[in-house]
Chains A and B, each alone.
Chain A
Amino acid sequence: MFNYTFHWNQAFKALPQMLDGAVVTLQIALLSMAIGLACAIALTLFRLSGNRILGGFATAWVEVARNTPALFQIYMAHFGLGNFGIHLSPYVALLAGIAFNNAGYLAENFRGALKAIPDTQTRSARSLGMTSMQAFGYIVLPQMLRIAFLPATNQMIWAILMTSLGVTVGMNTDLAGVTQALNAVSFRTFEFFALAAVIYYVIAKIVTLAARLFAARMFRY
Chain B
Amino acid sequence: MIEIENVHKSFGQLEVLKGINLTVKKGEVLTIIGGSGSGKSTLLTCINGLEAIDSGRIVVNGTDVHAKGTNLNKLRRSLGIVFQQFNAFPHLTVLENVMLAPRKVLRLSKAEAEAMAVKHLTHVGLADKLNVYPSRMSGGQQQRMAIARALAMSPDYMLFDEVTSALDPQLVGEVLDTLRMLASEGMTMICVTHEMKFAREVSDRVAFFHKGILTEIAPPEELFDTPKDPNLQQFLAATH
Interface residues of A (CB under 8 A from B): 118, 120-121, 123-131, 134, 138-139, 142-143, 146, 220-221
Contacts and interface: CB of A to CB of B under 8 A. Distances in A.
Contacts of B104: 130, 134, 138
B81 A129 contact: no
Q: Most A CB atoms within 10 A — which of B85, B106, B135?
A: B85
B149 interface: yes
A121 B89 contact: yes
Interface residues of B, number: 27
B100 interface: yes
4 shortest interchain CB distances as A-B pairs: A128-B101, A124-B87, A221-B133, A129-B105
Nearest to B79: A127
29 contacts: A118-B87, A120-B85, A120-B87, A123-B83, A124-B146, A125-B89, A126-B73, A126-B76, A127-B48, A127-B79, A127-B81, A128-B76, A128-B100, A128-B105, A128-B150, A128-B153, A129-B73, A129-B77, A129-B105, A129-B153, A130-B73, A130-B105, A134-B104, A134-B105, A143-B90, A143-B91, A146-B91, A220-B133, A221-B133
A129 to B, nearest CB: 4
B60 to A, nearest CB: 13
Contact of A131 (B73, B79, B85): B73
B68 interface: no
Given A220-B133, A221-B133, A221-B135, A129 B101 contact: yes
Contacts of A126: 50, 73, 76
A126 B71 CA distance: 12
Contacts of B197: none
A128 B149 contact: yes
B240 interface: no
Interface string B78-121: 01110101010111000000001100111000000000000000
Contacts of A120: 83, 85, 87
Contacts of A146: 91
Contacts of B73: 126, 129-131
Nearest to B81: A127
A138 B104 CA distance: 9
A123 B50 contact: yes
Interface in B48-85: 48, 50, 73-74, 76-77, 79-81, 83, 85
A142 B91 CA distance: 7
B79 to A, nearest CB: 8
B35 to A, nearest CB: 23
Contacts of B80: 127
